Amino acid sequence: MKKISFLIALYFCGIYSFSQNITAQLIDKKTSEPVPYATIKTGEFSGAISNEEGYFTITTNNDNLKTVIISSLGYQTKTLSIQNIKDASFLIELDEAINQLNEVFISNKAPNADSIIAKVRAKIPENYSHELKKHNIFHRTTESVDFKSLDFEIEKASRAKKQSLEAANTELNTLSEKIRESDMIQFTDFKGAFYSLNKDSSKLVVNKVTKLMDFKNDFSVDHIQEKAQKIMLRYLDTTKTYKLKTGIFKIEDSLSLKKKKSEEGKNNELQLGYLNKQTRGLLKRGQFYKSSFLKGLLNPDYYEYTFEDITYNNNELNYIISFTPRKAKAKYTGKLFVSDGDHAMTRVNYSYYKNRHGEKLNLKLILGIKYIVNLSKGLFLFEKGLDNKYYPKYIKRTTGSYFYVNRDLKFIENAQGRNKIGFSIKIEGDNLSKEELLFTGHNTLNLTDFTAVKQAKVIPVKTLGKFEKTLWENEETLEPLVEMKAFGNEE
């Protein structure tokens, strides 16, 4: 990508010059490597999280904001004034927390991992609470598609003009080349309040939604088939309608060029029900109830635990416990970080173990479809509140899947002649989806409060073709990564 460094430099200059925002980067003092996922506190729950590149942005339009507290796993907590950050040229060095393992544990015997995990399970009711809560949230989804192959081929046609078929083939080839050459990625951000009655019932009030996407390069599998179908329809008799079949299955009964037209307005709003379900699903992964994701990682029947080391988080000692599958049903490996004082999990890193995978469907020979979730990894960060309960501060989940679709499609004219055109579509590639959920506040609700909340049906979306630094100015959000800042600005 050309001019990305220059564009990012301009972006930061713009931020620094605007008095209400401060953007800075956290780095390791010894290695100069970025420090991701550090907590920058500007209040009890307000503040930010540094992104994967170590950057964060805070708003300084609060007259009471004099200092910020920066804490990160494995580093000494640092308290800085706004002027300190400016004097450091917006580059903040963090000192590594000294590992005093031998001093902390006088005995030659290392802490027992199974004993620590047992205490974590026993203390869950005391350490966590997730019913009747209001969470102030910021949510970001990053989705991308990488097509490995994409082929269209007209196999047969009855009573179709040779010239029309050649024109259709030319357009299909052009579509295929454009899709393969495209760098397809889109970003969706929204901010609002999430009201949780329990793990299965919630309401969402959204204040703002923005989407970064290239309208011309909206190439999901369904949209590719739709685009190819429309090309075919243009070269058929537009006064007639057509059945669309794949094998013995009828997909559409009455396709017509005149019936539907592409509407750009479809990207102008989102269903609140969908956003609510998406947010609830992500939050549930960070909760502790029967058969929940995190509760599953604490099951000694399925996982084996090993004490690795100690570290410090916000000046508190944390045990580092690694886990690996004990049984075939267990899929994950990773590390659990447990506070020494109250045995609460403060951080969790996980990913698929070796060649294990998620949902899988292989009907390649029967229906020409294959699908497998081959990537699942994530991060949970928890923060202690004034009530001594731990609440999620940041949740990230990245999933990836391989897909293969090989369809033979047939247009059958809805007329006495029943003229037919058959063509095939072969698509193969990888999907990648990253969800991030930042919590900027937590409050306890009662049932009356929850009942009074009204969730709208849809929310307007501001959709843009390129990144603008003013999109979320003066709001507590996740600092965008370089790829997002460069979106639509490449040459």
Q: Judging by beta carbons within 10 Å of its beta carbon (0-12, 13-18, 19+), is residue 477 exposed, middle or buried?
A: buried
| For residues 315-328, average pLDDT | 93
pLDDT tens-digit readout, 432-447: 999 999 998 889 999 9
pLDDT greater than 80 at residue 341:
yes
pLDDT greater than 60 at residue 268:
yes
Go through 230-243 and write b for each residue having 16 or more CB atoms within 10 A of its CB, e for each that does not: bbbbebbeeeebbb
Q: pTM here?
A: 0.84
pLDDT tens-digit readout, 400-415: 999 998 877 777 777 7
pLDDT tens-digit readout, 165-208: 777 778 888 877 777 776 688 999 999 999 999 999 999 999 99
Predicted pLDDT of residue 16: 43
Please count the other Cβ atoms lying within 10 Å of the Cβ belonging to residue 279.
23
Q: In which element (H, E) is residue 374 found?
A: strand 369-384
pLDDT band at 83 (very low <50, low <70, confident <90, very high): confident
Radius of gyration for the alpha carbons in the chain, expressed in angstroms and rounded? 26
DSSP one-letter code for 297: H
Integer Cα distance of 246 and 244 in angstroms? 7
Q: How many distinct helices (H) and strands (E) make up the chain?
A: 11, 23
| For residues 19-46, average pLDDT | 86
pLDDT greater than 80 at residue 384:
yes
- Residues ≥6 apart with Cβ < 8 Å to 380: 285, 286, 294, 345, 347, 348, 392, 394, 395
pLDDT band at 99 (very low <50, low <70, confident <90, very high): low
pLDDT greater than 80 at residue 136:
yes
Q: If you average pLDDT over each of 82-86, 159-163, 223-227, 251-255, which comes out highest?
A: 82-86
Pairing of strands 201-212, 462-464: parallel
